[in-house]
Amino acid sequence: MLEKYYMDILILGGTVFLGRAIVEAALKRGHNITLFNRGRSNPGLFPEVQRLFGDRSEDVWPLQGRSWDAAIDTSGYVPRVVRMSAEALADEVGHYTFISSLSVYSNVEKAGIDEDGPLGTLENPSVEEITGETYGPLKVACEQVVQEVMAERDLIIRPGLIVGPFDPTDRFTYWPYRVAHGGEVLAPGRPARQVQFIDVRDLAEWTIRLVETQQTGVYNATGPERSPSMQELLDTCIDASASDARFTWVSESFLEEHKVGPWMEMPLWVPESDPSNAGFFAFSSARARSAGLTFRPVAETVRATLGWLPQRPADKPWRAGISPQREAELLAAWHARTQT
């Protein structure tokens, strides 16, 4: 029988992707949940929970004069804003979880980077614009704020690529979707190249378990248990969708020559020819695994993603992945090149 803890938990955010999954995991465990957000994203979700409305970047007065056993910050990106929330809650919560990112590391030239790896820094500490260059260092600064304000009552979680149902980034979703549509599929780089990611539900459920035990410290959080190769992932997508997809593996030199953008235009691909990427899909999550992080099978993540896809608005632009026209052009160029 599942043990119930019945904690009062405040979640900053809570209606988009990881926040949503954390709320679901917490409710399943029997906790009392309060959400603090602007009420703009998925406002009809979780009618059974208490809601506090406000813009954390402007005013956190709705948080004052209340108390919770724990708070989970799923929406902190700017240190000034994170400080406002943390200081407002310093005397109101017993435990504070901050969701950070593996992007905090400044150097991923080696495999096996753990929580003691080198962290990024901001050239201008006052910058608040979130870009590809500032995202990681801003998260570092946010972590430091939380650690300062919460004084050893903090839990810092650094996820890798988070995947699964309701993912707004499309960085993983592109592959189950594209493979399900069948035909010739452009596949990037070496088939044996390994990739890392974590199912949003695994991350959420583990986070709640750590909160229940008031765990503190810093944890990398990515998986799966055994990192699959890109070939294995795409084969899993075929099995899950029963599609007739066939893969044409193109070299990364060809992708670079044709200016195919890594990561977003071509999800789950970064050039192996660049030594600075050597550890990109090889982070260590040993500490998190020792603390109980577990992973469901990749096939289950793919099936769940495919199951959610019909709920994705058909007219919503894809944020990641190449367009069908671009893919066809690249495949034609690849075949023309290999036939000469």
For the stretch 148-171, pLDDT in tens is: 999 999 999 999 999 999 999 999
Query: Which residue type does 5 have?
Result: Y
Position 337 confidence tier, pLDDT thresholds 50, 70, 90:
confident
Percent of the chain with pLDDT over 70: 98
Domain match, 6 and 154 both: yes
Domain match, 109 and 181 both: no
> Nearest to residue 15, comparing CAs of 166, 133, 128?
166
Between CA 205 and CA 157 the distance in angstroms is 13
Between CA 199 and CA 135 the distance in angstroms is 22
Query: Is the predicted pLDDT of residue 255 greater than 50, yes or no?
Result: yes
292 located within any domain: no
Angle formed at CA 91 by CA 87 and CA 94, multiple of 5 degrees: 110
Query: pLDDT digits over 290-336, tens only?
Result: 999 999 999 999 999 999 999 998 899 999 999 999 999 999 999 99
Cα 147 vs. chain centroid, distance in angstroms?
22
Give the phi and the psi of residue 97 in degrees, each rounded to 5.
-105, 130
219 located within any domain: no
Mean pLDDT computed over every residue of the chain: 95
128 located within any domain: yes
Query: pLDDT digits over 193-229, tens only?
Result: 999 999 999 999 999 999 999 999 999 999 999 999 9
291 located within any domain: no
CB 281 within 8 A of CB 233: no
Domain match, 179 and 103 both: no
Q: CATH number, domain at 190?
A: 3.90.25
What do you get for the CA distance between the two ends of the chain, in Å?
66
289 located within any domain: no
Q: Which domain covers residue 42, as residue numbers?
A: 1-159
Domain match, 177 and 235 both: yes
Between CA 46 and CA 35 the distance in angstroms is 9
Domain match, 180 and 149 both: no
Domain match, 1 and 107 both: yes
Predicted pLDDT of residue 3 = 52
Domain match, 141 and 191 both: no
Domain match, 16 and 94 both: yes
Predicted pLDDT of residue 339 = 72
> Nearest to residue 85, comparing CAs of 112, 104, 66?
66
Q: CATH number, domain at 48?
A: 3.40.50.720
Position 1 confidence tier, pLDDT thresholds 50, 70, 90:
very low
Cis peptide before 176 (omega within 30 of 0): no
Query: Is the predicted pLDDT of residue 24 greater than 60, yes or no?
Result: yes
Domain match, 34 and 136 both: yes
139 located within any domain: yes
Domain match, 189 and 155 both: no
Query: Is the predicted pLDDT of residue 51 greater than 70, yes or no?
Result: yes
Predicted pLDDT of residue 5 = 60
> Nearest to residue 266, comparing CAs of 250, 279, 282, 277?
250
286 located within any domain: no
Domain match, 255 and 126 both: no
Query: Is the predicted pLDDT of residue 2 greater than 50, yes or no?
Result: no
283 located within any domain: no
Q: Which of 134, 159, 184 delimits the end of a domain?
A: 159
Q: Which of 114, 133, 159 delimits the end of a domain?
A: 159
Domain match, 95 and 173 both: no
Query: Is the predicted pLDDT of residue 254 greater than 70, yes or no?
Result: yes
Between CA 73 and CA 298 the distance in angstroms is 27
Query: pTM of the prediction?
Result: 0.96
Between CA 72 and CA 2 the distance in angstroms is 22
Look at the block and give the residue holding tokens 């090889």: 282
Helix (H, G, I), strand (E, B) or coil at 119: strand
Query: Is the predicted pLDDT of residue 340 greater than 70, yes or no?
Result: no
What's the number of domains the chain is made of?
Answer: 2
